Structure formats: structure tokens, C-alpha cells
Homo-oligomer: A and B are copies of this chain.
Amino acid sequence: MKTAFEYNVCLPFVKCSGRLTRGEANDDTEGTLLSRVALFAQQHSTTRMPAQALRGSPPLYVRTGTIRRASSCPSSWRKTNYWPHAQRNVRGAKVNTIITPAGGYFTNEEIEQALEKHKPVLFFLTHGESSSGVAHPIDGIGDLCLKHNCLFLVDSVASLGGSPLYMDKQGIDILYTGSQKALNSPPGTAPISFSERACNKMFNRKTKPVSYLLDMSWLANYWGCDGKPTRAYHHTGPVSGFFSLRESLAILAEMGLENSWRRHKEVAEHLHKGLEDLGLKLFVQDKNVRLPTVTTIVVPSGYDWKEIVAYVMKHHQIEISGGLGPSAGMVLRVGLMGCNSTKANADMVLAALGDALKCCHKSKV
């Protein structure tokens, strides 16, 4: 196995740096209550960094990608590509949807029209839409949400650390991500952060959340994020995962966030040029909204995408994947993020795809 990319979204996994796996296996520091408390304090200050957030609550560490996507809201409204579709499974919520073709994005005018029409309490947007390969523009939407008195929730799972995002400056009220993408840590933890406006909304809600798992008041108290002197047990946290996340954030801090964004962009552009040199077409036509962590490639005419994916896995030990949701059957997807975002890895993918185009069956119809 030369490297591991974000492959099938059914089974995502990233190769972790050696430093990270050593960090996770560190017996000397893992065991004590005192060090764990210190870890939390450190994380609370370090994790603000990737999203450039200065105000609001420190991040809460919800444990999984699933939970982070299911914080219940009395009523919500979302755009679709794939991930908002997944969000519709938040049960009991009244959800209104606007749709744009996969690979595209909404203008701020379209968003404001929808806010006026539906009057939602929450607007959900996926920043790094990994199903289509779009990094959705964020500027100005926070102001629109503030104007229309709704909260702005951003899913940055596939983008945080790999693509510019400014929680405060862009007026994001709720921001979450996953440990396992550009942050480069094993899956199992998911930082989430709330603005003061979001905290006011949550902590003053009149109905109980559908499950105490998603009771952010309780979680905030458990994590010591609510300023109260005593903390109530809520769940047993995945301690090793927290240490990994701390280490992954320390690596990112050492590298510099802007340097990480720049490297992801350069590697993605290198990959994109190489793909076009192979005669392949990129799925996202507008260069300015191409997600630097996940690249979507139009399935080349005459080929079976499944055969290409299987060929690349078998002969090059590289995992790429097909589409997901609205892009299923239409694209091949290549994830290069975190420590996997290097030109050398991009070149390996290009060589593998070039080989696949020669060796896989091509229909003449």
C-alpha cells in the first residue's frame, strides 16, 4: 500500500503521519486525569485556529461524523447536493430544500430569495461538497442569514484545514468538521463550534432535543464549555482519538494554516493539469470553486467507472472512488488531503489513471 486516499465515502480512511500514530500510542501521557484535562484546555485553544475563529464557544468534541450532522434544530433549511440530503434524516425537522445541479453552486441572490421565501431558523451549507468536488463560496452568506434572523450552519468535513474558511469573518454560527479528512487524524472525533448567537438559541430552546445524545447544553457542560464549575457525566469520550486530534492540530499549527491551504491548492492544480493532459475532463467547470481536497473527474466516455476503480486498486494499490448521491455514475473521485496532499501522490494517481485508460475496456459505442 503506497498511500491511502479518501476513497469510497462508504469507507473513508486517511493514512496518518507516523508522528500521529506514535502520538496515539503514547502510554506515558495517556493515562492520567490531569493530563487529559490539560489536553482539553490545549485543544480548546488550538482548535479555534483552523477556522480562524476567535469569538464564541470553544469547540465541543462530539465524537462522530454522524452525531455532528444531527444536532437537531426546530426547523431547518438546506441546499442539496449529497451531504444536505443526508441531513434530511434529522427526524422531526421541517426541511425545505433548493436544488442546484451537481458540480454547481448557489449565488447569494438565489440564497437570499430562498431565505425570504422559507424564513428558516437555520441555513445549512456544505462548504466542501465531496460528492461533487465543489468548495461552495461562503462570503456574504453569513450577513444574509443575520439579516434574515436565521443561523448559518456550515459542514466543513471535507475542507477544514485544506481550504480557506473564516468562522468569524464569514459569520458562520455553527461549524463542524471531522478528524479524518484534511486534519489528518483517524476518524472518530468531530470538532464543532458555536457562535454566541447559536449558543443563545440552543441554551434557551423550549423543547428538549430528540435524544440526550444531541443535548448540546449537557455536552457543553460535560466538556466544560459552559463556564459552570461542576461537570456532569454524559458519555465516555474516545481519549486516544482526542490525543490524535491534538497532535494533528499541532502539526497543522507548525506548518501554518495558510501554508496548508496553499499546498492543497498547488497540489490540486497540479493534479488537475495532469488529468487534462491525460485527456480527462474535470467535473467542476468553474476553476474558482474546485475543492482542493477532493477532485471529481467526468467518467471518460466508453469506460465503466467501476472497472477503472477496481483496476487502479488492483494494479496500483490506490483507492479512488465513484460518485455519491447526485454524482453517482457520473464521476471518479480522488481525495488528496492532509499529509496525502503532495505532488508525488498526485503523480502516482496520474500514472495509475493513465495506465487504467490504456488497459481498461473501452466501448466503441
Instruction: Using CB atoms and an 8 Å cutoff, list the residues of chain A in contact with chain B.
Output: 1, 3-4, 7-13, 15-16, 18, 21-22, 24-25, 27-28, 30-33, 36, 63-67, 70, 72, 86, 89-92, 178, 180, 186-188, 208-214, 231, 233-241, 244, 313, 317, 319, 324
B31 touches A1 (CB 8 A): yes
Partner of A235, one of B13, B66, B208: B66
Chain B: minimal CB distance from A147 (Å): 32
Assembled-state Cα–Cα distance A64/B64 (Å): 9
In the complex formed, the residue of B with least CB distance to A22 is B25
Q: For A90, list chain B residues within 8 Å (CB).
A: 211-212
B70 touches A213 (CB 8 A): yes
A233 touches B10 (CB 8 A): yes
Chain B: minimal CB distance from A90 (Å): 8
Q: Name 22 interchain pairs, CB-CB below 8 A, sorted by A.
A: A1-B31, A7-B33, A9-B233, A11-B33, A15-B27, A15-B30, A21-B25, A33-B313, A66-B213, A66-B236, A67-B213, A70-B213, A86-B233, A89-B212, A91-B208, A92-B210, A187-B236, A187-B238, A188-B238, A188-B239, A188-B241, A211-B211
Q: For A238, list chain B residues within 8 Å (CB).
A: 64, 186-188, 238, 241
Instruction: Supply 11 further A-B pairs (C-beta < 8 A) apart from A4-B30, A63-B63, A188-B188.
Output: A4-B31, A15-B27, A16-B30, A24-B24, A24-B25, A32-B317, A66-B236, A70-B212, A90-B211, A188-B240, A233-B324
Assembled-state Cα–Cα distance A234/B209 (Å): 21
Tell me whether chain A's interface is mostly helix, strand or loop, or mixed. loop
Assembled-state Cα–Cα distance A65/B63 (Å): 11
A30 touches B18 (CB 8 A): no
Query: Known contacts being A1-B32, A66-B235, is A91 close to B212, with CB within 8 Å?
Result: yes
Assembled-state Cα–Cα distance A113/B312 (Å): 64
Assembled-state Cα–Cα distance A233/B210 (Å): 22
Q: For A72, list chain B residues within 8 Å (CB).
A: 211
